[in-house]
């Protein structure tokens, strides 16, 4: 699908603006034939960090690739709400779970996913996701670096704390992850749940995944820590909402450009009348502050502004997206998923008596979808909300007419007209 992972894009843009300086110079890796940009989370309530590590960072396990021939690892649909062509497909796999621990993995995955989808707007729009579990069977239980740096475990995905010497940085072998993710019917984003109670995780952008990968981001998190789910929630903020990080680095200085950032949650305009989220100004935000212009973000201390004092894109001490982030996330959901689908192809003409049945994604909470029907662009109000109609029931007589089903999300979480436009899905059939 059409995702562009914002974490990597923002990192690259910042580096270019600063003459190639890494946003976390104190933690940058030394020269390497191949490196990966990752985001990691030093503590359960700490601000994240960006770091560049060698792809062959210390702690990685060098071993043959797992055999994916013969009896393939089991793939299970944990949640399937619609066709892969009309859904965001999330693939979840475990590492450090032996053959006898796969039920434990499934339970851990369910717990983490329920926690992530307890955060708005994931909660309201969970119905736009398919979720696939892929069983990755490890030789040993647990992962490397837990509890200490010298601990080495042979696991399917090579998960390791102390990646490049950073204790909470939980790296994986992205090549192995790509192989396993390819077993699912579709993969847009991948979560790796490491069998460990130790806090840690990482986020990989699309630019740092193996060439040819069919997905556009990887987030790792430990299974047994009750705050690690926020890592996944934060990383999806990049991948789906194209949101920038709202945190900053002490001593990193002033944003070096007058050009407006492309991301929805950063601006160089402090004037309240020109800031891109002016429609939300003065709103009491779920993250705790009032929407305004708060200086600092995108790794810089000055010259760039964020919408609220804090949010999940600034610190994992917050469990909420701000309203600007929510709006960007919902627009991102609709960029790659459809609230309206039908098994009846729109490419073929239909007869006047042909029953047209549509399916609505099971949206809740913030979402407010409305299904309407049109004949040649004119709304048939009596059919509003009907999931199954015939052209004849809509008043069609003769051929050459067009019947259209449209779902519009009237949620109050969208104020930007461009975002509202994305929240409309239509299907049109020609009557023969």
- Residue-range domain boundaries for the chain: 6-239, 339-430
- Which long-range contacts link 272-277 to residues 24+ away (Cβ below 8 Å)? 275/305, 277/307, 277/324
Average pLDDT of span 400-429: 96
In whole angstroms, how far apart are CA 126 and each of 80, 131, 192, 293? 10, 10, 19, 30
Percent pLDDT > 90 in the chain is 76
Q: In sequence order, what are the residues at sequence separation of 6 or more whose Cβ sits closer than 8 angstroms to the Cβ of residue 191?
A: 90, 91, 92, 93, 109, 112, 218, 219, 220, 221, 232
* CATH class of the domain at 6-239: alpha beta
370: closest CA among 337, 404, 339?
Answer: 339
Average pLDDT of span 184-191: 94
Residue-level pLDDT at 56: 60
- pTM recorded for the entire structure: 0.89
What value does the mean pLDDT of the chain take? 88
Question: What are the tens digits of pLDDT across the range 125-174?
Answer: 999 999 999 999 999 999 999 999 999 999 999 999 999 899 999 999 99
Residue-level pLDDT at 30: 41
User: Which residue is listed with tokens 């952008």?
Assistant: 205
3-state secondary structure of 110: helix
In whole angstroms, how far apart are CA 217 and each of 81, 167, 183, 206, 253? 22, 22, 16, 5, 29
Neighbours of 273 (CB within 10 A): 7
Question: What are the tens digits of pLDDT across the range 321-362?
Answer: 999 999 999 999 999 999 999 999 999 999 999 999 999 999
Torsion of CA 421, 237, 94, 316, to 10 degrees: -150
Look at 75-84, 264-273, 284-293 and tell me which has the smallest mean pLDDT.
264-273
Residue positions counted in the chain: 432
Residue-level pLDDT at 206: 79
Question: What are the tens digits of pLDDT across the range 215-225?
Answer: 878 999 999 99
Question: What are the tens digits of pLDDT across the range 297-318?
Answer: 999 999 999 999 999 999 999 9
């Amino acid at each position: 699908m059409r995702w562009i992972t914002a974490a990597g894009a923002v990192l690259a843009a910042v580096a270019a603006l600063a003459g190639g300086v890494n946003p976390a110079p104190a933690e940058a890796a030394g020269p390497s034939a191949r490196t990966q940009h990752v985001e990691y989370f030093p503590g359960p309530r700490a601000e994240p960090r960006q770091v560049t590590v060698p792809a062959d960072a210390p702690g990685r396990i060098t071993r043959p690739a797992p055999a994916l021939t013969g009896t393939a690892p089991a793939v299970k649909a944990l949640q399937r709400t619609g066709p892969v062509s009309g859904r965001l497909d999330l693939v979840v796999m475990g590492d450090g779970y032996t053959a006898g621990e796969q039920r434990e993995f499934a339970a851990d995955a369910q717990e983490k996913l329920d926690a992530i989808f307890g955060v708005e707007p994931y909660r309201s729009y969970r119905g736009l996701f398919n979720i696939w579990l892929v069983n990755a069977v490890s030789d040993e239980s647990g992962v490397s670096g837990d509890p200490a740096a010298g601990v080495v475990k042979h696991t399917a995905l090579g998960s390791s704390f102390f990646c490049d010497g950073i204790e909470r940085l939980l790296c994986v072998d992205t090549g192995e992850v790509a192989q396993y993710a390819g077993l699912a019917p579709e993969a847009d984003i991948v979560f790796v749940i490491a069998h460990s109670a130790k806090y840690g995780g990482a986020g990989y952008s699309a630019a740092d995944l193996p060439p040819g990968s069919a997905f556009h981001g990887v987030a790792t998190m430990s299974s047994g820590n009750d705050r690690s789910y926020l890592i996944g929630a934060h990383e999806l903020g990049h991948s789906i909402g194209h949101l920038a990080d709202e945190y900053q680095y002490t001593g990193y200085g002033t944003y070096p450009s007058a050009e407006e950032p492309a991301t929805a949650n950063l601006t160089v305009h402090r004037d309240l009348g020109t800031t891109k989220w002016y429609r939300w100004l003065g709103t009491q935000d779920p993250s705790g502050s009032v929407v305004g212009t708060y200086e600092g973000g995108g790794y810089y201390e000055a010259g760039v502004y964020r919408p609220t004092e804090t949010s999940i894109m600034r610190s994992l001490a917050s469990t909420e997206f701000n309203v600007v982030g929510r709006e960007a996330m919902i627009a991102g959901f609709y960029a790659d998923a459809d609230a309206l689908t039908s098994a009846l192809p729109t490419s073929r003409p239909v007869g006047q008596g042909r029953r047209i049945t549509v399916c609505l994604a099971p949206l809740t909470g913030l979402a407010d979808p409305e299904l309407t029907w049109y004949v040649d662009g004119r709304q048939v109000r009596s059919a509003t909300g009907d999931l199954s109609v015939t052209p004849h029931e809509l008043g069609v007589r003769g051929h050459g007419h067009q019947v259209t089903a449209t779902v519009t999300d009237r949620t109050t979480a969208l104020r930007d007209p461009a975002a509202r436009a994305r929240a409309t899905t239509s299907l049109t059939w020609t009557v023969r």
